[in-house]
Copies of this chain bind each other. A is one copy, B any other.
Amino acid sequence: MMGQSATHRVWRVGADIDTDALAPGAYMKFGIEEIARHCLQRVRPEFAAEVRSGDVLVAGPNFGIGSSREQAAVALVRLGVAAVIAPSFGGLFFRNAFNVGLLLLTCPQAEALAEGDRIAFDPMTGRIARPGVEPAELQCEAVPTFLMDMVRAGGLLNVLKQRQSS
């Protein structure tokens, strides 16, 4: 699903995107579909309507700071975002994201990626390939196997269910 062969379209946002930008407080009571429909509305009003399954979100430092609301990560999963790539993440968001099956790539050079770039990535080695653009390869932190298991299973609960039934 996310090998070097697939290509993913890049959406760019800035630094310090907080959980309220991802899951706006005003929509929290209406459920996850409605929250997802307003995801990133404050910074990219067209995002929720135009993002396609398999696209990736590239951000500046401190992506997902703020509250511990899990819906911030779930909204991105619902919209089909294949990964978020940023130099750093809010710690609570990082915990929640993998728990709900959202892949995060920690990449010091994330901001070298531009809106509309097409990239391939391999989470297990941390390599991002961007054919035809310099630098053609970026290095992220490798994602450990136990976290990739969560991403592949669609979240921690599914990993636990699979283990119980095996």
Contact = CB atoms under 8 A, between A and B. Distances in A.
Interface of A: 61-62, 65-66, 68, 87-92, 94-95, 98, 104, 106, 141, 144, 147
Nearest to A97: B91
A66 B88 CA distance: 12
Given A66-B141, A68-B144, A106-B65, A91 B92 contact: no
A141 B95 contact: no
Given A66-B141, A141-B66, A144-B68, A95 B92 contact: no
Contact of A88 (B61, B95, B144, B147): B61
Contact of A91 (B61, B68, B106): B106
27 contacts: A61-B61, A61-B88, A62-B87, A62-B88, A65-B106, A65-B141, A66-B141, A68-B144, A88-B88, A88-B89, A88-B90, A88-B91, A89-B91, A90-B106, A90-B141, A91-B91, A91-B94, A91-B95, A91-B104, A91-B106, A92-B94, A92-B141, A92-B144, A94-B94, A94-B95, A95-B95, A95-B98
Contacts of A66: 141
Contacts of A144: 68, 92
Most chain-B CB neighbours within 10 Å: which of A62, A87, A92?
A: A92
A68 B141 CA distance: 9
A94 B65 CA distance: 13
